[in-house]
Chain A
């Protein structure tokens, strides 16, 4: 079955550490996205990528970095510069079709906590 796989499901970070969250999709989607979800709040966009080797900052990119070397993969690194990293992180993907808004498909998320 096609889908989006995020790993790990739970991740713990020590102060001052960088950690990388994995996101892989086999839906052949061009566009991929990273969101952050805090309790009782909606999702906020961190980074997105429309094609391989290209990505743009979302609304809350500070303290995060991404890469898009392969169509299937869009890893997110939470750097030590992100002062409040504890959150639920969701990866999504969608087709790109000019003039149409295709729905985004989501993974099951990674919950990051600070030790």
Chain B
């Protein structure tokens, strides 16, 4: 079945460090890929998305490139801030008449000043 695997957390970094959160997927078709962020006690917010191979999604300094050859969608940011502390979810969606998101287990990120 379709699935998403994220690097296990928690991840702890210092402010201004470089961030990578790995995400790989398994899907029978050609999925769209998403990164969502969840701040404490809140719902999920869409961070970025990519709908086809080689697309790069970007937002708020975060980037992720849809790599079909490695079935990956790694999240990166060049210089993290304390305010980036949150849980990050990678997800895929297949066009099957109904949009059903399949989520990874989430990666908790903590940025220390």
Which residues in A have some Cβ–Cβ distance to B below 8 Å? 4, 6, 31, 33, 40-45, 48, 50, 56, 58, 90, 92, 94, 96, 99-109
How many whole Å from B68's CB to the nearest CB in chain A?
A: 16
17 of the cross-chain contacts (CB-CB < 8 Å) are A31-B98, A40-B105, A42-B4, A42-B105, A43-B103, A44-B103, A45-B100, A48-B98, A50-B98, A56-B98, A92-B43, A96-B99, A99-B95, A100-B51, A100-B95, A106-B44, A109-B41
Chain B interface size range: 20 to 34
Residues of the B chain whose Cβ atoms lie less than 8 Å from the Cβ of A99: 95
Give, as a whole number of angstroms, the nearest-CB distance from B3 to chain A: 10
| Contact present for A42 and B103 (CB under 8 Å) | yes
Q: Which residues of B contact A109 (CB under 8 A)?
A: 41-43
The reply to whether B43 and A106 form a contact with Cβ atoms under 8 Å apart is yes
Contact of B100 among A6, A40, A48, A90 (CB under 8 A): A48
Please classify the interface of chain B as helix (H, G, I), strand (E, B), loop, or mixed, using the class held by over half of its residues. Answer: strand
Q: Are A101 and B99 in contact (CB under 8 A)?
A: yes
Distance of A71 Cα from B43 Cα, bound (Å):
21
Of the residues B46, B100, B105, contact of A58 by C-beta under 8 Å: B100
Q: Is the CB of B89 within 8 A of A103?
A: no
Residues of B within 8 A of A (CB): 4, 31-32, 34, 36, 41-46, 49, 51, 89, 93-95, 97-101, 103-106
Checking B46, B98, B103, B106 against A103 with a beta-carbon cut-off of 8 angstroms, the contacting residue is B46
**Which of A43, A92, A96 has its CB near the most chain B CB atoms (within 10 A)?**
A43
A103 cross-chain contacts in B, Cβ below 8 A = 34, 46, 49
A93–chain B nearest beta-carbon distance, Å: 11
Report the minimum CB–CB distance from A2 to chain B (whole Å).
Answer: 14
A40, A94, A107: the one within 8 Å of B99 (CB): A94
Q: Are B43 and A45 in contact (CB under 8 A)?
A: no
- Is B106 a contact partner of A90 (Cβ separation < 8 A)? no
Known: A31-B98, A101-B31, A103-B46. 4 other contacts (CB 8 A): A6-B43, A33-B101, A43-B103, A108-B42
